[in-house]
Amino acid sequence: PEAPRIRNFSIIAHIDHGKSTLADRLLEATGTVSARQMKAQFLDRMDIERERGITIKAQTVRLSYRAADGEAYALNLIDTPGHVDFSYEVSRSLAACEGALLVVDASQGVEAQTLANVYLALENDLEIIPVLNKIDLPSADPDRVRREIEDIIGLDASAAILASAKEGLGTEEILEAVVRRIPPPGGDPAGPLRALIFDSWFDSYQGAVVLVRVVDGAIRPGDRIRMMSTGQEYEVSRVGHFAPDAVDRDVLGAGDVGFLTAAIKSVRDTRVGDTITGARRPASAPLPGFRPVKAMVFCGLYPVDSAQYDQLKEAVEKLWLNDPAFSYEPETSSALGFGFRCGFLGLLHMEIIQERLEREFELSLISTAPAVPYEVTLADGTVTKIHNPAQMPPPDRIAQVAEPYVRAEIHLPKEYVGAVMRLCDEKRGTQAGMRYLTPDRVLLTYEMPFNEIVLDFYDRLKSASRGYASLDYDFIGWRPADLVKLDILINRQPVDALSVIVHKEKAYYRGRDLAGRLRRVIPRQLYEVVIQAAVGGRVIARERIPPLRKDVTAKCYGGDITRKRKLLERQKAGKKRMKQVGSVEIPQEAFLSVLKV
Ligand code: GDP
Ligand code: MG
């Protein structure tokens, strides 16, 4: 269809408010997916997403809808993730849309990410249609939530749609609102091609599959296209859309959203955010890209079996193509060998990438504890960023260490304000504001070191508020702090991969705690293992693991062969996640024990 019959929209929501379930209803109601094919959260394609019940990668699907006005419309639905770690994905999806359904759980109300996502939508000038979901719940209070949307966000919610994605209420009304309230895409169909890459992934048969929003011009199979950032050219092999399977088309016109393939083999040539133009009649300027993002959590990833290094290298490169917020560079650790220092937006992002590397690429990995970057000013005045605690220069060469700070916005019911304020104080936070959004809901604003959030803030916040508080944060800059490197020595050898940066006042306590934890997670070995924690060469804690006395299988008395085999198998499985460091086998948990305080 021509642009006037196209609508490009997203669904935005706080996590668990029902975005994926609503997408399922839209797929069903438009016959895009039959009831027989339907699985819950259909768009959450990747296994990990299904298991964790969250949406990670935005997915795109075309719905064909005959509206009440009798016309046939093509509705391009671009699903977005709801978690704070993925706001980058949200903003790039929104750049491909003219409107968004704002789903708010009618029993919960406006939460931190409802607001964060609405702001992203408003930045992109989207038409926002509020949907009050879960009205089937007895605790639903649509009038209160409608007032919250008006008071907190400042959106007119008088025409908010009442819905139950679970029971299919309101679906038809939502589809009509998409057609009537979201403007059709603009753009110049006759102009030189400009298409925004908003997602891409690698397919071993077709090369890169690139999701684009065509802004001006059109793309057809056989066209020669050019990537504006690199100047690389390709001949288009296929264009089409997902409904939900790939459907080939003759053309993707101005205003449309779809995919293209062009036998693109080099994964570096389809960077998300880049503009595609025509090689014969190139556009003069690219489309505005996305808000740049900076990784703020780093960890080392190493193959358990060093023979898997090349596989890991290929895998991180492929994931990087698909996820520009993920970064990597080669790193060598004296303890762990060759691997990569990888950067992530947050902890969830990190876990997801690790899990994808292991599942999709069949790798077995050891990861070091996540750490934030530090900005170090040396005695001679040079300033460097450190992404690995092991790189921290010796204290006598350092003039100042600064750590990243965030402004944290916490939404919570008023009864938990006291407990959450105490937690924020403990986490070195400074209160920057407190506001009653409604008589029962409070917005607390704190400035705090991001390192504290990486440690365990989110879990602690959830327990301090019985799960009711929600969090969003933004980086506000670097602030100097009294920070030192805590080293761990195993049998007197420093293990670089276990170093952490800690606040000086907490160093003694953290060192003892960490040495104690390591004693508990490192299994007994044939020889004695001595664990030491040290700051600036001074040992502040020491633990000892006594040697094993007998062969572990000896206690099977040689009799029960199945039991013996089981024991050996269990040992073998455990070994998979062990890394030989000097003469000592260190399990994966050891590298993460610094996270537990
Ligand atoms: P998302 O994180 O926003 O994608 O949320 P999901 O669609 O995964 O839904 C989160 C949970 O809320 C799931 O357990 C859904 O079954 C449930 N849910 C979604 N919509 C409704 C609804 O209208 N009513 C009720 N009672 N539950 C719903
Ligand atoms: Mg979801």
Distance 40 CA to ligand 2 centre (A): 10
Torsion sign (Cα): 32, 14, 107, 104: negative
* Pairwise CA distance, residues 431 & 433, whole Å: 6
User: H or E stretch including 464?
Assistant: helix 458-464
By CB atoms closer than 10 A (0-12, 13-18, 19+), residue 570 is exposed
Tokens standing for 135? Answer: 């009205």
* Pairwise CA distance, residues 395 & 483, whole Å: 10
94: pLDDT strictly greater than 70: yes
- 239 or 559, which is more confident: 239
Q: Which ligand is nearest to the CA of 49?
A: 2
Q: Provide the strand spans (E) within 113-221.
A: 127-133, 161-162, 194-203, 207-216
The pLDDT value given to residue 573: 52
Q: Which ligand is nearest to the CA of 26?
A: 1
Task: Provide CB contacts within 8 A for 235, sequence distance 6+.
Answer: 222, 223, 224, 225, 262, 263
For ligand 1, is residue 15 a contact (CB within 6 Å)? Answer: yes
For ligand 1, is residue 43 a contact (CB within 6 Å)? Answer: no
Per-residue pLDDT tens for 517-529?
899 888 888 889 9
Q: Which ligand is nearest to the CA of 24?
A: 1
189: pLDDT strictly greater than 90: yes
Tokens standing for 141? Answer: 């209070």
Q: Which ligand is nearest to the CA of 135?
A: 1
**Can you tell me which atom of ligand 1 is nearest the CA of 24?**
7
For ligand 1, is residue 19 a contact (CB within 6 Å)? Answer: yes
Share of the chain above pLDDT 90, in %: 49
335: pLDDT strictly greater than 80: yes
* Pairwise CA distance, residues 588 & 574, whole Å: 10
* Pairwise CA distance, residues 252 & 6, whole Å: 12
**Can you tell me which atom of ligand 1 is nearest the CA of 53?**
8
Distance 112 CA to ligand 1 centre (A): 18
**Can you tell me which atom of ligand 1 is nearest the CA of 169?**
23
ipTM reported for the complex, 2 dp: 0.99
**Can you tell me which atom of ligand 1 is nearest the CA of 55?**
4
Residue with the nearest Cα to atom 2 of ligand 1?
A: 16
Mean pLDDT over 83-102 rounds to 77
Is omega for the bond preceding 292 within 30 degrees of 0, making it cis?
Answer: no
* Pairwise CA distance, residues 273 & 325, whole Å: 11
For ligand 1, is residue 50 a contact (CB within 6 Å)? Answer: no
Reported pTM: 0.72
Distance 15 CA to ligand 2 centre (A): 7
- Residue in 123, 474, 88, 113 with CA at minimum distance from that of residue 290: 88
For ligand 1, is residue 133 a contact (CB within 6 Å)? Answer: yes
The pLDDT value given to residue 56: 45
For ligand 1, is residue 171 a contact (CB within 6 Å)? Answer: no
Positions at the binding site:
16-21, 133-136
Average the pLDDT over each of 95-104, 137-146, 237-246, 545-554 and give the range with the smallest value: 545-554
Entry field: residues in the chain: 597
In one letter, which amino acid is 166? K
Distance 18 CA to ligand 1 centre (A): 4
Mean pLDDT over 430-451 rounds to 92
- Using an 8 Å Cβ cutoff, are 308 and 361 in contact? no
For ligand 1, is residue 164 a contact (CB within 6 Å)? Answer: yes
Distance 199 CA to ligand 2 centre (A): 18
User: In the structure, what pLDDT confidence band is assigned to residue 258 with cuts at 50, 70 and 90?
Assistant: very high
Q: Which stretch, 219-228, 314-323, 487-496, has highest mean pLDDT?
A: 219-228
Q: Calculate the CA dihedral of residues 574, 577, 581, 584 and round it to 10 degrees.
A: -10
User: H or E stretch including 244?
Assistant: none
For ligand 1, is residue 137 a contact (CB within 6 Å)? Answer: yes
Distance 28 CA to ligand 2 centre (A): 16
Distance 328 CA to ligand 1 centre (A): 35
Distance 29 CA to ligand 1 centre (A): 17
Per-residue pLDDT tens for 461-519?
988 988 888 888 888 999 999 999 999 999 998 898 899 998 888 899 889 999 998 99
Positions at the binding site for GTP:
16-21, 133-136
Q: Which ligand is nearest to the CA of 108?
A: 1
In one letter, which amino acid is 74? A
Per-residue pLDDT tens for 378-428?
999 999 999 999 899 988 899 999 999 999 999 899 999 999 999 999 999
Torsion sign (Cα): 192, 196, 197, 199: negative
Per-residue pLDDT tens for 357-369?
888 888 888 888 8
* Pairwise CA distance, residues 384 & 56, whole Å: 33
User: What does the DSSP 8-state code read for residue 32?
Assistant: S
- 564 or 233, which is more confident: 233
User: In the structure, what pLDDT confidence band is assigned to residue 556 with cuts at 50, 70 and 90?
Assistant: very low
**Can you tell me which atom of ligand 1 is nearest the CA of 17?**
3
Reduce the DSSP state of residue 202 to 3 states and report it: strand
- Residue in 265, 202, 253, 186 with CA at minimum distance from that of residue 223: 253
* Pairwise CA distance, residues 136 & 448, whole Å: 39
Q: Which of 103, 162, 166 to mutate to test the pocket of ligand 1 (most atoms within 8 A of CB)?
A: 166
Distance 121 CA to ligand 1 centre (A): 22
For ligand 1, is residue 82 a contact (CB within 6 Å)? Answer: yes
Per-residue pLDDT tens for 102-154?
999 999 999 888 887 888 888 888 999 999 999 999 999 999 999 999 988 88
The pLDDT value given to residue 557: 47
Angle between helix 171-181 and helix 19-29 axes, rounded to 10 deg: 90
**Can you tell me which atom of ligand 1 is nearest the CA of 163?**
23
Q: Which stretch, 39-48, 212-221, 469-478, has highest mean pLDDT?
A: 212-221
* Pairwise CA distance, residues 352 & 47, whole Å: 11
* Pairwise CA distance, residues 133 & 113, whole Å: 16
Average the pLDDT over each of 321-325, 409-413, 535-539, 552-556 and give the range with the smallest value: 552-556
- 169 or 1, which is more confident: 169
Per-residue pLDDT tens for 65-82?
999 999 999 999 987 765
Per-residue pLDDT tens for 22-36?
998 999 999 887 766
209: pLDDT strictly greater than 50: yes
